[in-house]
Amino acid sequence: MTTQRTQEVRERLLAAAAELIAERGWAGVSTRVLAERAGVGPGLVHYHFSSLRALLNEAALHAVTAVVQEGADRLAGATAREGLDLLLGALDAYTGGDPVSVLFTETYLAAGRDEELRRALTRLLADFRVLLTDWLRATGVPDPDATARVLAAAMDGLMLHRPLDPSLTAEAAVPVLRRLLTGAVEEY
Amino acid sequence: MTTQRTQEVRERLLAAAAELIAERGWAGVSTRVLAERAGVGPGLVHYHFSSLRALLNEAALHAVTAVVQEGADRLAGATAREGLDLLLGALDAYTGGDPVSVLFTETYLAAGRDEELRRALTRLLADFRVLLTDWLRATGVPDPDATARVLAAAMDGLMLHRPLDPSLTAEAAVPVLRRLLTGAVEEY
DNA sequence: GATCGCCTTGGGCGAGTGCCCAAAATCGAG
DNA sequence: CTCGATTTTGGGCACTCGCCCAAGGCGATC
């Protein structure tokens, strides 16, 4: 299959793009550095993708979706205790300076300037929020829907603030966050 | 005074830069569009500033400092009730799509790639956190220091998520946030 | 009015940009 | 092996980038 090889090049370009967005910022990714990182000629970028913008959108959305999916899968059948460990784990895995955190923020920002990306991100976030809400409800948290929204936002906010506040560790934040889940976690 | 006029041009450049960072993103601000927005010749940028990078740093830091200062001043002698109103007011003033919110996020991101900017932002945030901590302590919130860190991060996270979640209004978020302040606000 | 120093202009330099395209390489089908 | 289609290459086009600089404008001081 020739399609096999084509797919592999596409994926290498997408992976390189995700790396470079985090390193250099959305607007700092050029066709040439992208091609070099992916190990292909500069012309290939516009052979496999209609535009650099489209490539960046697809790369960011693909990477962000993968991370969210993994989190969602783990959360799916988790108990209250397991869910909290999951949160805590996420908090010190994504410190704000790591590529994944930066890519998230870059993507949020880019979504503000690209309608199509914004729509896709909105849908992704909504799907995840449904899962989070279900878990909160099952755990016995009072207002699961609003709590899920705020909790998701707070997690991203913590990643945004972490590089600017070295004392903002996961251990410091989790006891406070637990107050958001009042009533459900006193046994923890 | 010739210095008078010089200062005015500098400030016009800084103001134009703050606008453009929000509109086009940090890397999307060029010397030429910046000069045009400020109403001056393109060469003036490098007469008044050592580099475009230095100009952007100063502009962003200046604008962000002004916003934080204003919030700090208002919070300084506020009661528990007034403080909560202040939070609520901030939440629906900065919706995430407005120039101020975007500028904040752009600046956080840029700080990750510029040591000097990161240092200055860290100090600014630390100063504000002290004030927030004092207010929380005076209000009777349990763990004021950690709570201040998480609360500040959560506010920024909400602004990040708002454009992607239309249902995330200030009214929906505030009751949940109030749980962070358990024990102090049951009269509210 | 002449002079001096700060402010401002606009053009120019080399480098880098997204995108395009003719030509070469590669590969599966016959 | 040959042929046709697909994939890949690298150079080129028109443009923008940050930064520099010679030239002129301008206001304050004698």
Q: What is the pLDDT of residues B59-78, one digit of tens each?
A: 999 999 999 999 999 998 78
Nucleotide minimizing C1' to CA distance for residue A43: D9
Residue A3's pLDDT is 64
Distances from the Cα of B135 to the Cαs of A102, B124, B186, in angstroms?
Answer: 31, 17, 17
CA distance linking residue A152 with residue B3, whole number of Å: 50
User: Which residues from chain A sit within 8 angstroms of residue B153, using beta carbons?
Assistant: 154, 157-158, 160-162, 168, 173
- The fold for domain A52-181 equals Tetracycline Repressor; domain 2 (1.10.357)
Asked if A164's CB is within 8 angstroms of B118's CB, the reply is: yes
pLDDT band at A21 (very low <50, low <70, confident <90, very high): very high
Nearest CA among A173, A90, A70, A182 for reference residue A136: A182
Q: Residue ranges per domain, chain B?
A: 56-181
Question: DSSP characters for chain A?
Answer: -HHHHHHHHHHHHHHHHHHHHHHH-GGG--HHHHHHHHTS-GGGHHHHSS-HHHHHHHHHHHHHHHHHHHHHHHHHT--HHHHHHHHHHHHHH--SSSHHHHHHHHHHHHHTT-HHHHHHHHHHHHHHHHHHHHHHHHHT-SSHHHHHHHHHHHHHHHHHHGGG-TT--HHHHHHHHHGGGTTT-TT-
Write the DSSP symbol of residue B26.
G
Residue A183 has pLDDT above 80, yes or no: no
Angstrom distance, A2 CA to C28 C1'? 8
Q: What was the pLDDT predicted at A100? A: 98
User: Is the confidence at residue B19, as pLDDT, over 70?
Assistant: yes
Whether the pLDDT of residue B103 is over 50: the answer is: yes
Question: Both tokens of residue A161?
Answer: 């603030």
pLDDT at A144: 95
| DSSP, residue by residue, B105-152 | HHHHHHHTT-HHHHHHHHHHHHHHHHHHHHHHHHHT-SSHHHHHHHHH
Kindly report the CATH number that applies to the domain delimited by B56-181.
1.10.357.10
> What pLDDT, on the 0 to 100 scale, is given for residue B85?
87
Question: Any idea what the Cα angle at residue A162 is, between residues B148 and A74, rounded to 5°?
Answer: 100
B9 touches strand C (CB under 7 A): yes
* Lowest pLDDT segment from A46-50, A76-80, B102-106: A76-80
**pTM of the model as a whole:** 0.94
- Strand D, nucleotides covered by protein (CB < 7 Å): 6-12, 16-22, 27-28
**Residue A101 predicted with pLDDT over 90:** yes
Burial class (CB in 10 A: 0-12, 13-18, 19+), B86: middle
> Which residues of chain B does A153 touch, with a Cβ-Cβ cutoff of 8 Å?
154, 157-158, 160-162, 165, 168, 173
Contact between A102 and B109 using a beta-carbon 8 Å cutoff: yes
Identify the pLDDT of residue B51.
98
B2 CA to D28 C1', in Å?
9
Judged against a pLDDT cut of 60, whether residue A177 lies above it is answered with yes
Is pLDDT above 50 for B159?
Answer: yes
User: Which one of A108, A109, A161 has the shortest CB-CB distance to B152?
Assistant: A161
Closest CA to A127 of A106, A109, A152, A103: A152
Amino acid A33: pLDDT = 98
pLDDT number for residue B3: 64
